[in-house]
Amino acid sequence: MRKTTKLLMIVASLTLIILYFVPFWKISLLAPQYPEYPDGLQIRIGLTSLTGGGEHHLEIIDLLNHYIGMRTLPKELPDFSILPYYVALMILFGLISVAVGDLILKKRRLEVINLVLIEMWVSFFAIIGIAGIWGFYLRGYEYAHNLDMSSPLAKAVLGMNYEPPLIGSKQLLNITAQSLPDIGGYILFLSFALGSAAFFYELISYIKYCRRKKEQ
Amino acid sequence: MKKKAIGRFGLILSLLLMSSSFMVMGCQSKGGGIGASDAASQVYVRPGTHDKFYAFLSGGFNGQLLVYGLPSTRLLKMIPVFTVGAENGYGHSEETKALLNTSFGFIPWGDSHHPQLSKTHGVPDGRWVFINENNTPRIARINLKTFETEEIIEIPNSGGNHPSPFITQDSEYLLAGTRFSVPIPNVDTPYKDYKEKFKGTMSFIRADKPGKMEVEFQILLPGFDYDIARAGKGPSHGWFFVSCYNTEQSPTWKERNASKNDKDYIAAINWKKAKGCVAAGKAKNMPATYYHNYMDPGSRIAKSVKKTSVKVLSPDDCPGIVYYLPTPKSPHGVNVDPTGEYIVGSGKLSAAFTVHSFSKMIKAIENKAFSKTVYGIPVIKYEAVMAGEVQGGMKKPVCLGPLHTEFDGKGYAYTSCFLSNNVIKWKLGEWKVVDQIRTYYNIGHLMIPGGDSSKPFGKYLIAMNKTTKDRFLPTGPELAHAGQLIDISGEKMKLLSEFPELGEPHYAQALPAELVEPNSLRIYKLKENTHPHAVKSEKEALAKGKNGVVRDGNTVHIYLTTIRSHFKPDNIEGVKMGDTVYFHVTNLEQDWDVPHGFAIMGNQNVELLIMPGETRSTKWIPQKAGVYPFYCTDFCSALHQEMQGYVRVSG
């Protein structure tokens, strides 16, 4: 494996460790009667928990949403017991692909295996990513649609869509909801970009190697 | 010639006193001010933006403390201090009523006079504001994080706590002097024994330990009346200066009999030396009953502690702690300039008022330049201590009935003149009046932000007037007192605006908002609530006894929670006629500005206002069987009207 590829893969894998410490997504709710939170009341999503953007944010959001009949924000989700393992897997897989490429496959002609390993890492990343977004969408849908019909406003708002946006900004009655990556989200993009760069670098190098071989 | 002038002045003065009048300003225009739009722009605070200063005005006979913003003069809050607050249950709720306990029992009213901000290095620091109660001698501490009264201490051996609570430059002590001398100990005494039996006391109250205010010691003084006090600062730190009137020692018709002497005194008290004598065991323990009430920060429940003795120090046992500075005539205000060198004594019946020099005083004491002794206390020769006289007399600009002085930190002093209805600005050291401005009407105290401190913040002056007359739309015989905001940033004083006050502000204090605003609390933390009757969740409330109702003989405790927009429990059963019911309401909210209220029909008590995270309790004795609605009194959400419940009372 080439030095550059190696470096890119190691960095791509290890940066993922940061995800265990910072949330990767945030939903901010901005309401006119909350001037004290200029960045909104925030739900921050991490690998193992939902946290508030500050002390009491989640309680306040629950209180605001209870009129509509939204369930209280979950302390536990099945996702939280799976996500840390996925990320661990990505870190390990990335490092193993480097180790395999470096230690075992020193012969140039087997270099295609390197390429396949990295390709697998990138694809795996993408699949988890898409699955994650799908899961996020489902959670959001459930949060917005599984209303407690005995709550004061549930019937009044029936048919209105209270789902927070997947990404971007959306007006929900008096509240502007923003859904955007948190620090961990940018780490994910960075890691994916580095992995992809490693793949393309390795691919181009491999093509060049094949051409050279052909010419010989 | 001079005598004649004084005689003539006396005649005019008595006329003025009789009519407390407008003679002097008869031909002045009434508007008094700079161009209206110019002034308006200087006090205009754009909606949604904040004032630059917090101002704390005493409520006088309403017993409370008023919080205003400057320069807008918008009223922000009235903090209940010595008078019960029907609005939030202060003094009525089980948690707060102990704050108003005294050796005379529970007292629902007080007369609050002089706010004093805590100071560090002689400058307001924004931690607390203290205020005195004049009628039943007490001092309160208000926390500027919560804007709530947290502590009140009663002053023993005092009759009228007027020269109080004046603070030292690092908030070590508050001085509380007696206005009316009384027999000490206070036992049945004929008035003819006034001179022998009636005494004054100066109490030194430890102020820098919240929750632990204490009367550390008292100095016993002759039976004069004591009016206003100020601590020294800088070079004069370690001293207090107290104005004395009725040095004639008359118990009766004081209006006349206490106005006979040409000069009364300012007492200079060396409290550091007195403290040394107390430490050396020279003070006597005297039996005395008084109360110390303070609020525990976790439970937010006030407790009363009854005290049974006080240390009293006689100047006879500790010579050199008190000197008298002769000061004409019945001095009211005494004010120490920012450098600590000048002591301004406002002789309210005098044509000119006197400024004493601290350094001259020290020299006079060294040289024993005394004219006589009074009750063993040396009286310093007038010339040996006087630094200058400010002539406000018959020549213009006039200052008749000088009362109080504040400073701008630029070398100028500002004195309120009750009779001539104006404020004069004069130069320290030169004693020359350089400017004056009309006030409406009969100004009492005046206040400059930090104007009593080592480093005045300046910029504005508030004139607190005693009569209002035609200044506002009339509201029947009883009128709000008028306050006037004056710009003192330039050479000439300019009247900016006028505002109605509540009660009767005597004195005020102000400081820049940035010293207070960032520390202002938004909520009480529910998890830090240690109230024994707190319930931290609805589940916990319902688990108490039978659905939140706990019976203990004829006493019933009902545990309630509030959160938008319901009580839990809300259909209460198990109360019987003859029961005494306590509602313990915990506000589960942890969101800013979401208090809930609690009121129940027919309660011979007041409502509760419960801040987020707080527990408050109220007592209720049902009068007959039936169903009693209760509800939230503070509009809390779109479903506030639904926030209600019932208590069933069975026969």
pLDDT of residue B21: 41
Q: Is A63 in contact with B638 (Cβ distance < 8 A)?
A: no
Q: What is the CATH number of the domain that holds B460?
A: 2.130.10.10
pLDDT of residue A3: 86
Mutant choice from A55, A58, A59 vs B, greatest count of B C-beta within 10 A: A59
Percentage of chain B modeled with pLDDT above 70: 94
pLDDT(B5) > 70: no
- B537 and B492, same structural domain? no
Q: Which domain holds residue B549?
A: 526-650
Percentage of chain B modeled with pLDDT above 90: 90
pLDDT of residue B25: 42
With tokens 């930190």, the residue in question is B409
From chain B, the residues in CB contact with A59 under 8 A are 590-591
Q: Please tell me which of the candidates B522, B564, B592 has its beta carbon nearest to residue A63.
A: B564
Residue of chain A with shortest Cα separation from B563:
A63
From chain B, the residues in CB contact with A63 under 8 A are 563-564, 589, 591
pLDDT of residue B28: 43
Question: Quick count: other Cβ atoms within 10 Å of Cβ B254?
Answer: 15
Q: What is the CATH number of the domain that holds A175?
A: 1.20.140
Length of chain A: 216
Q: Is B590 in contact with A60 (Cβ distance < 8 A)?
A: yes
DSSP character string of B299-367: T--EEEEEEEEEEEE-GGGSTTSEEEEEESSSEEEEEE-TTS-EEEEEETT-SEEEEEEHHHHHHHHHT
Mean pLDDT of B494-498: 96
Q: Which domain holds residue A125?
A: 3-211
Mean pLDDT of B542-568: 97
| Chain A residues within 8 angstroms (CB to CB) of chain B | 36, 55-56, 59-60, 63, 66-67, 152
- B563 and B498, same structural domain? no
User: Mean of the per-residue pLDDT values for chain B?
Assistant: 93
pLDDT(B126) > 50: yes
pLDDT(B392) > 90: no
Which residue did the predictor score with more confidence, B7 or B168? B168
From chain A, the residues in CB contact with B640 under 8 A are none
Q: What are phi and psi of B503, to 5 degrees?
A: 65, -140
Q: Is A67 in contact with B589 (Cβ distance < 8 A)?
A: no
pLDDT(B557) > 50: yes
Mean pLDDT of B390-411: 86
DSSP character string of chain A: --HHHHHHHHHHHHGGGGGGTS-SEEEEEE-TT-TT-TT-EEEEE-SS-EEESSTTHHHHHHHHHTTTTPPPPPS--HHHHHHHHHHHHHHHHHHHHHHIIIII--SGGGHHHHHHHHHHHHHHHHHHHHHHHHHHHHHHHHHHHS--TTSTTTTTTTTS--PPPSSEEEEETTEEEEEEE-HHHHHHHHHHHHHHHHHHHHHHHHHHHHHHHHH-
Instruction: With respect to residue A91, please indicate whether it lies within any of the assigned structural domains.
Output: yes
Q: How far is A56 from chain B (nearest CA, A)?
A: 6
Give residue-wise pLDDT tens across range B521-553.
Answer: 999 999 999 999 999 999 999 999 999 999 999
Q: Give the total number of structural domains in chain A.
A: 1
- B610 and B555, same structural domain? yes
- B533 and B505, same structural domain? no
Banded pLDDT at B444 (limits 50, 70, 90): very high
Mean pLDDT of B182-188: 96
- B515 and B531, same structural domain? no
Ranges A8-22, A72-86, B201-215, B603-617: which has the least confidence: A72-86
Phi-psi region of B97 (alpha: psi -120 to 50; beta: other; left: phi over 0): alpha
* Last residue within a domain, chosen from B486, B519, B552: B519
Mean pLDDT of B243-270: 94
Q: What is the CATH number of the domain that holds B581?
A: 2.60.40.420
Kindly give, in sequence order, each residue whose CB lies less than 8 Å from that of residue B147, ignoring residues fewer than 6 positions away: B67, B77, B79, B520
Phi-psi region of B117 (alpha: psi -120 to 50; beta: other; left: phi over 0): beta
- B539 and B422, same structural domain? no
Q: Give the total number of structural domains in chain B.
A: 2
* Last residue within a domain, chosen from B489, B519, B549: B519
Mean pLDDT of B483-496: 97
Q: Is A60 in contact with B591 (Cβ distance < 8 A)?
A: yes
Ranges A103-112, B149-158, B583-592: which has the least confidence: A103-112
Instruction: With respect to residue A46, please indicate whether it lies within any of the assigned structural domains.
Output: yes
- B501 and B633, same structural domain? no
Q: CA-CA distance, B358 to B350, in Å (whole number)?
A: 22
Ranges A107-111, B277-281, B469-473, B515-519: which has the least confidence: A107-111
Instruction: With respect to residue B45, please indicate whether it lies within any of the assigned structural domains.
Output: no
pLDDT in tens, chain A (216 residues): 788 889 999 999 999 999 999 999 999 999 999 999 999 999 999 999 999 999 999 999 999 888 888 899 988 888 899 999 999 999 999 999 888 887 766 666 677 888 888 999 999 999 999 999 999 999 988 888 888 888 888 887 777 777 888 999 999 888 899 999 999 999 999 999 999 999 999 899 888 888 888 887
Q: Please tell me which of the candidates B522, B591, B638 has its beta carbon nearest to residue A63.
A: B591
pLDDT of residue A157: 76
